[in-house]
Structure 1
Amino acid sequence: MKLKDIKTLITSGTIILAVGLYLVFAKPTDEQPPTNDGAQNNIVSQEQKHYSITPELAMNETGKQLIDVEFIAANDGDTMSVKMDGQKQRVRLLMIDTPEMNYDKGDPMPYAEAAKQLTTQLLEDAKSVQLLFDKGPETDKYDRLLAYVFVDGVSLHEVLLNEGLAAVRYVNKPNNSLEDELREIQQQAEAKKLNIWAYPNYLQRDGFHPEEVNK
């Protein structure tokens, strides 16, 4: 091998070694790849969270069994239509309230659409939707089923409260077996000032007051 070729080989090997050492020992950059912060990413994957109201806890507290249903559509965050035993039924979530859609006025309350979107997305994507009745009446004066709803084993009540899109309201014994658990979850959202809790006077004793958000 000629001397010129040997020098070229040594030079190339040195360059390759330098690049390799740089890749191994170079400090990682602080820059992060850009992320998509669009609305579709506003809802955190529910599978990544820990939930306190399990189906087992709920069944134990109520003394009732879960009933499989088929989701049809959501009217708002706390009301929906399902098919149960082949019949279409309207369901009202026990003990929680979300802002009203106000279909008659065409003017949804603040966060009403977000609550409906979350409920709809979870129920549409679910492999399993189940209802659980409490110890009291199973229907209200509007002939709606009063129930807890579980989506793939996760409490829809807990998800809405966790996201600050619902509040504990309309508590009537003995349909209040999970009241303490729901209030504790709500307190955490309040402390973080999430969504409806970002405005101190949005929710008052008589319900939601949109004017407090629009000030």
Structure 2
Amino acid sequence: MTTGAERVRFFDRYWHPIVKTRTEHIRQYLAAEREQMAAWLAALSPRLVVEAGCADGDLLLPEVLRHHGTAYLGIDIAATAVAAGNRMLAGTGRAGRDVRIVCADVQDLARLAPSLGVPATGVLTAYPFNLLGELRPDPTEALAATAAIGSDIAVFTYDDGDAARDVRLEYYLKCGFSGSWREGPDRLVFRGEDGFFSAAYAQDTVTGWLADLGYQVTTVRLTPFAVGYLGRLHR
């Protein structure tokens, strides 16, 4: 089975415990992420927010819906998560051209943008809750696809420090994942025995990837163990 197919199979099976499991530290992180996303929406007023790895839309969609005039496109590789998101949308009556959740891979965003109706300007693509660290072997292909459509970018991640290691381990154990750590000069990777993969990258590494793609980067400390990055594409 290909790596891409393995990722799809894993997240179809495990998206719910990954997205719905909460420790106190994770609740703190997600609350800070939502607050920062709301601030960036207010500052940028994008025409469209693309949420990569949106699962059922529970994380960032509520913030987008509060921001009048901004459309929402959620994408996720897990069909089961997308189905759950669309059931939720059907229940709210908000599903439509301006609020959609579809099954797609963010690494294919440049190729899929025309068929998904992504405009040429005014787009902000968000990578929530350390999605960046779940893209193998690293997220540069997905980031390049985001830059290729002319989109600004919001990234939320753990950092690679000891505090983040402790928070991540507590969370992974509560999710039911066991595995091992691998340290590198610019990353800390957790590999689960059942196929789970999650990396946290050094701040300079993420900033460098974004700068190399033409982004002017602002960083925000969300919690003692997590960072937000806002990339504005040079035009």
Q: TM-score, structure 2 length as denominator?
A: 0.29
TM-score normalised according to structure 1 size: 0.31
Greater percentage in strand? 2
Say which structure is richer in helix. 2
Larger radius of gyration: 1
